[in-house]
Structure 1
Amino acid sequence: MVVCWGPVVRVLVLQAAWALGGGQVRYSVPEEAKAGTVVGRLAQDLGLAAGEPEARGLRLVAQGRQASVEVSGASGVLVVSSRLDREELCGKSAPCALRLEVLVERPLRVFHVELEVTDINDNAPVFPAARKNLSIAESSLPGSRFPLEGASDADIGANAQLSYTLSPSEHFRVVEENSNSRSKSLFLVLTKPLDRETVPVHGLVLTASDGGRPSLTGTMELVISVLDANDNAPQFTQSVYNVLLPEDALEGTLVALVNATDPDVGSNREVIYEIDTFVPHSASDVFSIDAKSGEIRLTGSLDFETVTFYDLHVKARDKGTPPLSGHCKVVVEVLDVNDNAPEVWVTSLSVPVPEDAAVGTVVALLSVSDRDSGANGRVRCAVWPAAPFGLVATFAGSYSLVLREALDRERVSEYEVEVRAEDGGAPPLRASRGVRVPVSDVNDNAPSFAQAVYTVLARENNAAGAELARLWARDPDEAGNGRVSYSVAEGGGGGAAAGGGWRPASSYVSVDAESGRLWALQPLDYEELQVLQFEVRAVDAGEPPLCGNATVQLFVVDENDNAPALLPPAGGGPGPGAAGEAASGPGSGALWAWAAWGAPAGQVVAKIRAVDADSGYNAWLRYELWEPRGKGPFRVGLYSGEVSTARVLEEADGPRQRLVIVVRDHGEPARSATATLSVSLVEGAEAALAAVGSSSSSSSGAGLRPAAGAEGSAAAATNVWLVVAICAVSSLFLLAVVLYGASRWAPQAAVLSGPGPATLVCASEVGSWSYSQRQSRSLCVAEGAGKSDLMVFSPNFPPPPPGPAAKETQPEPPALLDTVVDCIPGQWIVVMYTVLF
């Protein structure tokens, strides 16, 4: 029950505080005061000592809308907390007072605080519209008044007292008058007569200024359109129009176009034309005028020998009330004309003209005449275009059309020559005659291939008869002179698998004599042939025939058509770190090795060795332990093929372990071979005896791993091989430098000297490979010797052109892994990278 009576007790206490609190405090603050502005020392004005406001819980009680003031901390100061806008709080009401209640607890008391928000000039006068359009007749008298709507100001008092000004104008002023209503009336007064033809539209700006300090202003644009009155007569652009008209002018010919303008508008400016007087009177049958456009046209024939001059008086009348009119005169002078034009005939024409015709060859004979006499009968002739032909006058009225420049049918196969004749009349009359001169062809252009070198990529094992590329040679000649036939001229190739033998290109490819399509005569084998270079010849059928050549470089792209092959162990027999082989067929084998119990993890037991006849990714091998799966005692290197212990060998592993190792390449699809390795687990002493027996006889059937004391001799042997390998690499580098220097001074074939990127093939245990357009083989040698990865870069040929022959593209090399390749034009450079086991 105590919880239920608590609110009731608080209400009673609050009512008692209301009864006791009879004091009232008044403050004043300007609107738009910044937050934090001190309104008054509330605690001090309420009689509270320092520290009491916070102790007695002095706070502001909000009523209705949220107050924009608050009591600040322990000081009891009343400060502005948010924006105060008098126009938003009270509108036009004055004064604007906010009633606040301040509550003091302990004991509970309520005080009334009245906060007056005073006005500042923060609102500019606003017109009902930013623009007002007025229409005033130009006949309006000075003193005419036109009412305007004034502006309004949201402020009060002096801040809302408005005065008006008008932008400078000699025709208008603004007047403000008091009326019986509460507001003033605003008028626009005309001070000077308007002239629409001078100023059709007046643009003024009406400005309203309030009485604040500083004063704020608002503007409204006044656009005053002046309405027209018929106070202007039509005016012609010319008082006299002089026209020269030839006597052979046809009926309907435009004689003159008279134009009268009226600065009025509407019907006051619409003009009607008419011919008022004809001199002579017979001219009424010869001339007529269009009433709307003012066009004077010829309606009869002229005769210079009868009438040489005509005078026409034209009137223009508007449609105003009353109508006003203007006048002008048109003087027509008839001119005698040259009635006969020259005539041109072709009397002889010798076409077609061979394109190797000599300069000065006569092509045609022409005859020119004019039936007029005097200057009207004198004829001048010219040929157009001016080249490659010209005119030569033989005698009066006769001309020869001769060749002035050498012809080229492939550039222009036919000429349209125009012979132009002009007499000496005023104005002169002209005539022309067109002459068509075809040019016959001679065999002066040899076939030209689009490229000097074509690079073609073909996958091995392609079908016989497959199209490899399409060659095309252009011959701009026509008929037989431009008909091209193709043939394989020379070239050949060979490969390592073929013993380096040379075979002619015609045994591999053939070219269609008409279409230039390059066909494969037999399937290509990358292991036999890596690159085939030959020439294709294009011969036209002209007399004598001309020919052109192009070099074709055919690169065979390797496919994964060879499975990995297991190699016998190094040294010819089993031994430490090697395995014996009992081969069961290609791609598989049975191997065996020894391992001592207690051998630490990571000790190499045997090494599986394999080779792939393919190249690139297709020859990159990886080794995987197929059986036993799971956590067995042995593991195999992914790329090295070394079988090592995965953990310490224990007697629980049994006397023998059978490992099945799969060797896969990286081709698509991958090919594989399987090797079975039997590892015998023996005591350490037995393994040492087996190792001694293996080192004493390379053909013995048993061997043991070397003891720990033999590791020093193995390291010494490794150092010897390392020195030998470094010397070999240095020798090869010096040889490459010598060959490079020789190639710089030796003449090279142009076909192999173009720029082009080198494509590397790098085989390493890291696994970074890229395709090659040549051969890349991995050679495995005996145990303890170096493993040489043969890297061959592609020759420095130009990039293959777009088209059917460029469908097979090679990817960019992903990385250069410890290789140095020097691209020498016309040479193949081979770099050996030695890795010691």
Structure 2
Amino acid sequence: MLIQMQDYEARSWLVHFILFQMSWNVVLCQLHYVIPEESRHGTFVGRIAQDLGLDIGEINSRMLRVVSTDEKEYFQINLQNGILFVNNIIDREEICQDTSLCVIHLQMIVDKPVQIYLVEVEIEDINDNSPAFSSTGYNLVISELKHAGSHFPLEGAVDADVGTNTVTNYELSASDYFTLDFQKYMNQIRTLELVLKKPLDREKQSTHTLTLTCYDGGKPRLSGTTQIVVTVEDANDNSPVFDQPFYQCSVAENTVIGTLVMKLNATDLDQGKNGKITYAFSKLLPSQVKDIFKLDPNTGEIKLIGSLDYESTKRYDISVDATDHGENPMVGHCKVLVTVVDVNDNPPELIVTSLSVPVPEDSPQGTIVAMIRAQDKDSGSNGKVSCHISNHTPFKIIPAFMRDFSLTVDGPLDREKKSTYDIFLTATDEGFPPMSVSMTLKIDISDVNDNSPQFIQSYDTIFIKENNPPGFHVYTVSASDPDVGQNSFLTYSITDKNIDGIPISSYISIQPENGKVFALVSFDHEQITYFQCHIRATDAGLPPLSSNLTLNIFIEDINDNAPFFPPIILATTVKAPKTAQSGNLITKVRAVDLDSGYNALMSYSFKESSGKVPFIISQQTGDIILKRSFTDSDNDEYRLVVVAQDHGEPVMTALTQIIISLVESEEDMTLDPQESNRNSDEFSEANVYLVIAICIISSIFLITLIAFTVLRWQKYRDEVNDLKENYKICSNTGGSWMYSQESQYKFYLNSGQPKNDLMVFTPNSSQAPGNGNAVSEAVFLNSSKPKHPNPDWRYSASLKAAMQGAVHMEGAAVLRGAAVGLEPQWPTVSSATTDPEGGEVSPPVGAGVNCNSWTFKYGPGNQKQPVPVPQIPPDFPENFIIPGSPAIISIRQDQPSAQAQKSNFITFGKKEETKKKKKKKKGKNQEKANNNTNDNNDQ
């Protein structure tokens, strides 16, 4: 049953209930929206019409409306766009006080026909309420007898918000005695307790004021505070305390009986009877003390009731107790020290308690040598003792403790200067009159290894004659050490060192005990002339000390090597011109002596020289000089014996023979290689090495050059072989390009880069009348007009690829042998042209795959390709004929001059030097030409 309502104001809840029951079957769906609380009027909730599937145009006619279970209308629908919006501000805490989930149920009703929709709007809580305590302050009374860890419940705070916006945490102000303990369950705080960290003390602090703060978990975070005042309840937990735990006083032994010695004072922090105090001597106090002193229990005064004797008792230790009147009495304690003052009737006493002798001489300043006690039986200033040293020593005495003194080192000690010290000590008290006592201490200084061995000098030089016998004593070293005992026991050694890779211990040795140096080998001055060794003297101290002596050893030379002449000088023949003048140098000789100094100083002379010999020899240099001009009576040859003598002891000599031959003139002189070597001062060993090095370097350079040339030639041959493979023979009707193995030429482009492109023309030859052999003649006609080539010329496609691009033939000729002569033709090959009259290149029709041919076609008036007039080289023969063979043309572009750059030469055949070989093969080539002519005619 469908009821139509005309008046909206007349609806009632009963009618709604009836309609809802009747239209239950038309409820289509249920919607759920979520909005935060405190949303303002007009806040968007949802597109209710769109979500319910209603058209915007029918919501107004069908009277879409909102029905809420609450009297207050929180939501409204905009009938223009079907949007559900907030009508009144919603306070979640007002409508949902006891539940955490706050939902408002709405009914969306439309008429014609009636449809009811259930809609839920969930109100989200926001943190709009601060947590708060029920009271601004709480008072707690806690006894100071409570133990640490006691818990005291507290009332928690309340927050109207829910979820995370409610109370989540508590904080307590900083306190040494209290802390918080709260338990959480499902993020909710269930219990809140105050925990005592340590026992309270009313006497220190009777009241504690704490601030308790609660926080919620919302954003922004809100808080609330309250004050907790803790009052500490008193208990008898404090014992009486004296002003000081230790009292001290001095009483002269002649003090009158009844004199007040000390007044004690004790206090108790407790209150009432817990703070009332009574004084008494300790029960453990000896009875003889109680016979001398008396204590008042109420005032704490101690008075003298007996006689004092300093010699029998110097001081009294009195223990006093102070007891309060609490239920559980507590006691305080103190000690009273009564010192009996005596007169100065006892002198000081010096007692050596510790003595460390002997004292090492390397003891640093402040080293303690002895401990001395200076004591006095008197008290006060009479018992204070000072100690000092009466004489001047490198020691001093300083106070160590109350009555002890330490004797310490105050300066450097040197046993080598002074080995014993007598120290006079004096002790004096401060009584009146002062009393003193003296004593003597003997301090011995012990030796330490503080002095290294010393040589008389740090450097020394010795000379050893060569050829000495092995084991020869050459030197004795000696060092001294001012130390004593094992610190002065010295041993000698030689420091490790190498001489030309040989250890020095192989040359000399030394005895460790006495320092004697021996030569282990027989020295040779010619092998070693000087060496240096370091001798070390080391003592036996701990740690050992050492010093070095540098010994320079020179090997003296003796005349043990005779002079000798080099083999090149022995029995040498020298030629001298007869035209030589007096004073001219004929030759020179030189002897070698392996010795040095005077033992190697040479003097030269002739052996058994007669006065007729026209030569003299320089005694120092060995130069043989012509002393007079030659005469006809002189011999043609002179044999001179030259004696070389050193200056050693004994004298040693060497002999050589010089043959001097006389020649007519200097032109006839041919110096012997040995004589040339002598005149040029001979080759030294360094010069020989230099010549060998130059030869090796030259050989390496020559080998490198040959290898480079071979590699370049191999590369060139590979390129030629590749070209041979590329150029293949292919014939056609108009002509053909053929590869020739007989001649190879280079085709040079204008860029200067060589290309091994070979072009061979097969001319169309006809037999001349009256001659059976086909003869091709190449004649240059300057006056003949060139003709265009046959349009059927064909070129190889592979040839074009081998030429790498456009190939321009600026000059070429195709010669045809005929009766009327040769007909020059000038084909020009272009890579591409757009001019139809400029000629084009196309492959032949019907050419095979392997047919390397091209067809050149020329227009009637190609102005872009002028026909050059061939120029005949001046050295080219007028009649040059290659019988029976195709004309081989090599086109090159040389640039030797400006004129040569403008003209292109066309050369037929090979070079001129190959002409003779071609004439010899004329018969064979003629036959081959006839065969080629017949083949061309057949084609």
Structure having the higher strand fraction is 1
What TM-score, normalized to structure 1? Answer: 0.33
What TM-score, normalized to structure 2? Answer: 0.30
Larger radius of gyration: 2
